Amino acid sequence: MAVINNKELFQSYILTTAKYDFSVHEKRILYRIIELNQHLIEGKKLNRKYKVDSNLLGDSIYTLPISLFLKEGDSSNHLEVKKALNRLQKKEIVYEDDTIWASLTIIANPKIQKFGETVTFTVD
């Protein structure tokens, strides 16, 4: 019998009210990004399997186990994760206020090493 541990996540009002259509795997990726960022904001230490670095431009570079985006016990659906990463790379968030207009991709540069267990991608 599977044990379900519900977690409380906080999501920006902008994303909550935005029109979007995400697959299950895309949502899993987004929720993990939100969850990890919450831990970092709260000053909590990340599990050593998770790595979030910054580059000189201030972008966050995530290196995470592929299994984080799969259903528990499912280790063979890497193709769906690859498709989800590709779709997230093509989706954009457009932001505009009184002083700025910006168009950003949700993630950039997704990479999975062949026969590896991690995925790396960048978030602006």
93 within 8 A of 106, measured Cβ to Cβ: yes
Is 5's pLDDT higher than 80?
A: no
* 14-62 residue pLDDT tens: 555 556 688 888 999 999 998 898 888 888 888 888 999 998 988 899 9
- The model's pTM is 0.76
Q: Is the pLDDT of residue 2 over 70?
A: no
* pLDDT at residue 1, rounded to an integer: 44
Q: Map out the domains of the chain as residue ranges.
A: 22-123
Q: Contact 29/123 with Cβ under 8 angstroms?
A: no
Which residues partner with 52 through β-bridges?
62
Task: Find out if CATH 1.10.10 is the number for domain 22-123.
Answer: yes
Q: Give mean pLDDT, residues 91-102.
A: 90
Q: How far apart are CA 38 and CA 36, in angstroms?
A: 5
